Amino acid sequence: MHSAVVLGVQATAARASKLERKYHALFVRLRDRRDDYLRFVSDPAVPFDNNSSERTIRMPKLRTKVSGSMRTTTGAEHFAAIRSYIATATRQGIDTLDALIQATTGNPWIPTPA
């Protein structure tokens, strides 16, 4: 992989077009941050992809696309707090509906400190 990245940096060094500039920037990042990009190979705790992060931000992004924006800052903060609570509960194996019912009845699920 290292050889391919070095060849990519050299091939796009002239950066004649906008696309070549993007490719060049990518090759430079891959070259300079190789250990960061391949950390999942040596550290089993690091996931192969960032799908869980993408899933976490998908709903707020979708809501913004559908309605145009969040109406108020307070509403956006409440939405983010609820989504964060649900995402954390789900990652801990707590059913979403159960977590919401517990929260609305005054007995919220609280994660145990690690």
Closest of 60, 56, 99 to residue 109, by C-alpha: 99
CA–CA separation, 89 vs 1, rounded Å?
Answer: 39
Whole-number pLDDT of residue 98: 92
CB 15 within 8 A of CB 24: yes
The per-residue b/e assignment along 41-72, b for 16 or more CB within 10 angstroms, e otherwise, is: eeeeeeeeeeeeeeebeeeeeeeeeeeeebee
Least confident residue range of 24-28, 51-55, 92-96, 106-110: 51-55
CB 8 within 8 A of CB 27: yes
Whole-number pLDDT of residue 70: 67
Per-residue confidence band for 97, with pLDDT thresholds at 50, 70 and 90: very high
pLDDT in tens, 12-64: 888 778 888 888 898 899 899 988 888 888 888 877 777 776 777 677 667 66
Listed in sequence order, the residues at least 6 apart from 48 whose beta carbon sits closer than 8 Å to its beta carbon are 40
